[in-house]
Structure 1
């Protein structure tokens, strides 16, 4: 299971070489607590071309960046149950769920994004925490 997550991340990073828009971000080490419906602010940059706002946790499609994106979200909640949602323009796109202890979940989806569209990850169902750098949010424009 862990190998599948790693291979997905490696594939997405390799795709950056053919993309002109994208980012890959993670959380700092340790437990990171979030209130119900809080946006996850991934503030550790693995790669970004300046399109992801680490202060808000939101990616906004700018001029010249519309297209088809491969978006991946991975999560680990540690010793608690966790529910997160990838949202597009404030509408749930996909959900992730983990149970304790230290389960992981990943969703990788194809999304068409227009100028002005937004995507972000949000804590849903109940307040919870996300554990360590195992939580990533990545988007790559593929066409």
Structure 2
């Protein structure tokens, strides 16, 4: 199970590293890139209830993702369907997190103790100005190490 989650993370990193294609050769214009993958720093990362998770280690960047706030905002010209994935590992405590769209819960993630992992991958229709983020929902918990990722990729 852990290996499957790690392979999903690698898949998203490879997707993020694709190019937008040739320009000026008569081909239709390439869509504007919209993709990011971020993870947490090593060790235990503590969060209080309702804190937004700030994934601040960028593996693939997009100017719409703010690593200081943990919020991705869809920019002008980047509306569309997005494949969004959240993977979490909580270490020695349980954790409940939610993926949120404009403040509303989109999906839940839950882990028990003993380094359990959880993953949600969903398709979201997002328009310019929409915001998505991951939020801790139980009273206090921690997320363990770089096994926690947040990814969004616009599907062309």
TM > 0.5:
yes
- TM bin, normalised by shorter chain, reads over 0.9
Q: Which whole-Å CA distance do the structure 1 matches of 2:93 and 2:62 have between them?
A: 34
Kindly indicate whether structure 1 or structure 2 has the higher relative contact order, using CA contacts under 8 Å at least 6 residues apart.
1
Q: TM-score, normalised by structure 1?
A: 0.95
Which of 65, 68, 71 aligns to 2:84? It is 71
SS in 2 for 1:10: helix
Q: 1:70 to 1:18 in 2, by over 3 A?
A: farther
The equivalences for 1:1-143 within 5 A come to: 1-16=1-16, 17=18, 20-143=33-156
SS in 2 for 1:70: strand
Q: Is the 8 A contact 2:80 2:127 kept in 1?
A: yes
Q: Is the 8 A contact 2:38 2:57 kept in 1?
A: yes
Task: State the Cα RMSD in Å.
Answer: 1.2
Q: Deviations 1:33-92 (Å, cap 9, x if unpaired)?
A: 001000000110111132210111000001011011000000011000011000000000
Q: Which whole-Å CA distance do the structure 2 matches of 1:108 and 1:64 have between them?
A: 23
Q: Is the 8 A contact 1:18 1:142 kept in 2?
A: no
Q: TM-score, normalised by structure 2?
A: 0.88
Q: Which whole-Å CA distance do the structure 2 matches of 1:136 and 1:32 have between them?
A: 13
SS in 1 for 2:6: helix
Structure 2 unpaired stretches of 5+? 21-32
- The total of aligned residue pairs comes to 143
Structure 1 unpaired stretches of 5+? none
SS in 2 for 1:15: helix
Q: Is the 8 A contact 2:50 2:136 kept in 1?
A: yes
Q: Is the 8 A contact 1:52 1:59 kept in 2?
A: yes
